[in-house]
Structure 1
């Protein structure tokens, strides 16, 4: 959405050529477009452009720490969080325009403040993810640690009751080791959780074989996905984020690979990736290219979001209720036919 918002700040618009020749297979993507400068647009067209800009700016969520957490939990975006959450060009254009027209004296300062708060929001998002990950990590691994330390830490033996023996016939085993304090297990779990989170920040994925495995089209090869998912910019090869969102089902990746390698991160991802500003919770919207977005815009569309929300232990009960309702309907139909 950020890049879609940035495209609205351009001075050149790609407008459909409605007089172009069409075939029965012509659609919104194949219909030719003409480049038109913003100065050449009519007054009514400018009204439409300004309305679209205002609606998008109003509906696009502002930068929050929760947005940073969502981006950090997605392996496709965690390395580019800083570039993804910078203030969009359209917001900068609007602020500058208000200052030039004299409608807002504090817009420049507000824009500079927004740009300067990016690092602060990223830090808050990382701290929020760190705290949430500690809780999940302790819930997963803390029970075994607490059980094993229950007799040694919570109720240590009373050494005053231990008798003294000088008989050489008594066979002594290993000496008793002094137990650690109750704060040590918690600190140790936090250190282990932070270590796992640090490994997650550095963990990279080769998305080409992942896309090849998830592809529904058997005709696509590894070379095809290499061309689709990778781009070269200034002699640097990097992943095409939009292509990754189109061809990679991140929930599927977590189930197949991520949950085994990072179980605590996967548990957080199941909760956070279905939240706003994910497109899974939004209705179908128009795009800046003037055509309605398809049903599968991201890896967390409505169906996947519903599956994430419905907890696993409720699914069996839901299926039982569905089967029971079907049997009741069958009995009613049978009674009506008699």
Structure 2
């Protein structure tokens, strides 16, 4: 067995991971508790007899890499808390085999990105193969264009092309049936032309539930903000409300000047730029003050939640994506709120 990924969740006793059993062509996504008393993994809520060998391996890997795991611990407000082990065979579905092949071919050159990919998968809920395939497909679409590989290697080019096809196919998957050594899939029929048109272009329509969104709280601004955490660190995306409690992630990325440690300020300036293969979105005409202020304070609130419970000496270890040279200023509270409210705001840095 080989465990490719282990992460401890900050401010919780949860540890998540991904393990491959090459001898039996199996892989495991898992989430277990850590004992606050002994610092070891515990098998509470897990079928011990069925996963005895795996549990022993997980415990050994966790203790062997304890220091690195502590230093690279992640923050997640949405990580499911129930312990589980999900087992699948690499040969059960093409998307499994393609991901396994990708691991073998490009893992060393893309370790951080693959870690982010696996973390996002484990940050989702799935209790059967259909749900897992759909979660994998969604995250392949999210990350695939960021992977680095030799574009002249025809085998790798073919691999990534096939992964894209399987990822998009997974979005409409309903059921899978095995017929001898073959697979019969049932898919739903896409009847929404605008969404099909958007997905056919580079913009990916990624629908997410309201639970993962921090709403702007104003009826005139039918949107919200989603925290995103992948290499090179935390940033935010503006999300457009589609219908009811469903939102779409947009390309409007919001970040701080982390290169200058401004994300550690009490009231840092917020910048915007276009990032990711999502639906495009433009800031309301005239740079609407109320819109910009609402977005700013939601981002600031979510930023402070990331720091909650973290010791001050460890705060600087939490990585935030820094603005690029093309980024534009969305809101500078020191200037904007002083002009609007005639107040003087102190900029205080964590020490």
Superposition TM-score, scaled by structure 1 size: 0.21
Identify the structure with the greater helix proportion.
Answer: 1
Question: Larger % of strand: which?
Answer: 2
